[in-house]
Chains A and B, each alone.
Chain A
């Protein structure tokens, strides 16, 4: 179903799964409470969305990893539609597991708490953001969420697919100076985000500081103006960045 601004529920589900829940990987490495919630546990949760995406979150010794596909989870959460899955993310739908009842305490306590912590960082209050440490962690997690959302939008969203169709094969390095880096890999107009530094990028875009990245993510400044002031650096295959930025513009429609 196509919604306002040509957005759609399936793309939103892909973003919610791979970009939002996918950021639990980073949360568990950055936040002590999150790490402790995943420590000494060896469990996994699969999400299988009918007509939509499927992935599994693995929690092991304080580390969280997401893999595509839903076949391996100890706890299995099936969703009859993308709308139902998106409802779980916005808190209007309670998921019912089809497998893994012995691990229900982890789902109800640890996982719920993890998503609460993630929400606190991704939808941070002005009060929390006054703490510079929180500000940096929150912006870093937003960066990973947005970097992952770029690929989902480029692959799923009707308008994003148009942008991806103009992109040549190659790797874009997306980074915040002295902060996180991600790679957006393009192959035959399909995008994959890897939360690592690429060895040989074809194009680079760097936000000059954590604060300018935040201002951009929240729409307080414009990327074109920031290129003029030098607060955003770009280089290499500019046409790749040009098209990625058009996709990036749509991230806000889904993540707002």
Chain B
């Protein structure tokens, strides 16, 4: 049996942090939103990262299946991406005039992404989902946006719900909601709001938290595409989370349809901070008309990193590689679960998999198992999809499966059949 991690320095750091930072660590990297259950099983602060590993401030090493919640696609500190970033840093980063690296990057995206006739850069996924919605409203002169329940499109007020702190009714009064994969419901919403719907926004498949991930039903996206076209409604694909893990040409391309606008971030530059909205030519003038920019949005270093990242992803045939690794991991984890009498569901795409022990609807068994894995150096989270990166080796997968087995065995001892 492996020795269990301890987190003395993490706890000390959190105590310091909580005095000067709201929630100590806010957002998805923090213990509350990150669902660290129990909190003592999880590291709270990291020290360094390389390849597929992260090391926390106590020196514990983890095989990391969160990949910084997506940005790590080639492996942390990828030498090619970091070299490109360093070279650009020598020349200039945040400047009064943008570097022509911005044009190079846009040209590369237009060549790579199936639906892209242009690219607009920002910093976070939320920037470009917001830009996409503004573009749709500017183009259509309509108010309403249709969402698929279980969505996540960022943290701007329009993406949140009426019961969230800081949100007022007016922020969300033009939001319409339908169930994922329910085309008839979507048709009904279009009929009820004829001529009012600016856009439909969706992730390429349902990778919402707290539930098994669900791929689109056969023909679903094609019908949605036709409905949007018929009603002059803009179809936005939020590919912030799944982008480049399904298809380098965009996840709409993977599922056989064309979005009007597609949002990228996370895996775009292997951790360097840049996001992009790509779209069709007919929307280019609408984007041009918007007042939308930021202090660091044209910084050159992330553009250089993004170019190096996309070129390397192409060389590696990254989507095939990640799905192959993910499939091996899925088989190993499922077999480990079966060995101890657990029914582990692995849903979603293998490169972007979601885990759930289905034996216990309360998910308490699942939370126990995840905690035991983390204590043994495999970083899973409880209720979010996971991410594969290109630096993950067969040896790492074997180690992960061995840890998972030990964790299943421990949980089974506590809960005998």
- Verify that A and B bind, or say they do not: yes
Closest to B44 in A: A228
A29 within 8 Å of B by Cβ?
A: no
Question: What chain A residues lie within 8 Å of B383 (beta carbons)?
Answer: 238-239
**Cα A250 to Cα B164 with chains together (Å):** 10
Measuring CB to CB, which residues of chain B are less than 8 angstroms from any residue of chain A? Answer: 14-15, 18, 22-26, 30-33, 35-40, 44, 161-165, 169, 209-210, 361-364, 367, 382-383
Number of A interface residues in the complex (CB < 8 A):
30
What's the minimum C-beta distance from A238 to chain B, rounded to whole angstroms?
A: 5
What's the minimum C-beta distance from A191 to chain B, rounded to whole angstroms?
A: 14
What's the minimum C-beta distance from A133 to chain B, rounded to whole angstroms?
A: 30
A36 within 8 Å of B by Cβ?
A: no
A246 within 8 Å of B by Cβ?
A: yes
Contacting residues of chain A (199-256) with chain B, CB-CB under 8 angstroms: 201-203, 222-225, 227-230, 233-239, 243, 246-247, 249-250
The answer to whether B38 touches A233, judged by C-beta atoms less than 8 angstroms apart, is yes
The answer to whether B15 touches A229, judged by C-beta atoms less than 8 angstroms apart, is yes
With A224-B23, A246-B164: A230-B40 Cβ-Cβ less than 8 Å: yes
**Cα A201 to Cα B362 with chains together (Å):** 8
Contact of A222 among B22, B164, B209 (CB under 8 A): B22
Contact of B364 among A6, A159, A224, A235 (CB under 8 A): A235
Contact of A228 among B25, B163, B210, B363 (CB under 8 A): B25
The answer to whether B26 touches A159, judged by C-beta atoms less than 8 angstroms apart, is no
| Closest 5 A/B residue pairs (Cβ) | A224-B32, A227-B32, A228-B31, A239-B210, A236-B362
**Bitwise interface map of A from 124 to 159 toward B, beta carbon under 8 Å scored 1, else 0:** 000000000000000000000000000000000001
Question: What chain A residues lie within 8 Å of B30 (beta carbons)?
Answer: 224, 228
**Cα A84 to Cα B168 with chains together (Å):** 29
Residue of A166, A224, A233, A239 with most chain B CB atoms under a 10 A cut-off: A224
Question: What chain B residues lie within 8 Å of A250 (beta carbons)?
Answer: 163
Closest to A221 in B: B18
What's the minimum C-beta distance from A149 to chain B, rounded to whole angstroms?
A: 15
Question: What chain A residues lie within 8 Å of B209 (beta carbons)?
Answer: 239
What's the minimum C-beta distance from B9 to chain A, rounded to whole angstroms?
A: 15
**Cα A234 to Cα B382 with chains together (Å):** 12
Query: What are 8 A-B interface contacts by the 8 Å CB criterion?
Result: A159-B163, A222-B23, A225-B22, A227-B32, A228-B24, A228-B39, A229-B14, A229-B18
The answer to whether A228 touches B14, judged by C-beta atoms less than 8 angstroms apart, is yes
Question: What chain B residues lie within 8 Å of A234 (beta carbons)?
Answer: 37
**Cα A244 to Cα B414 with chains together (Å):** 29
Closest to A171 in B: B362
**Cα A255 to Cα B202 with chains together (Å):** 39
What's the minimum C-beta distance from A1 to chain B, rounded to whole angstroms?
A: 15
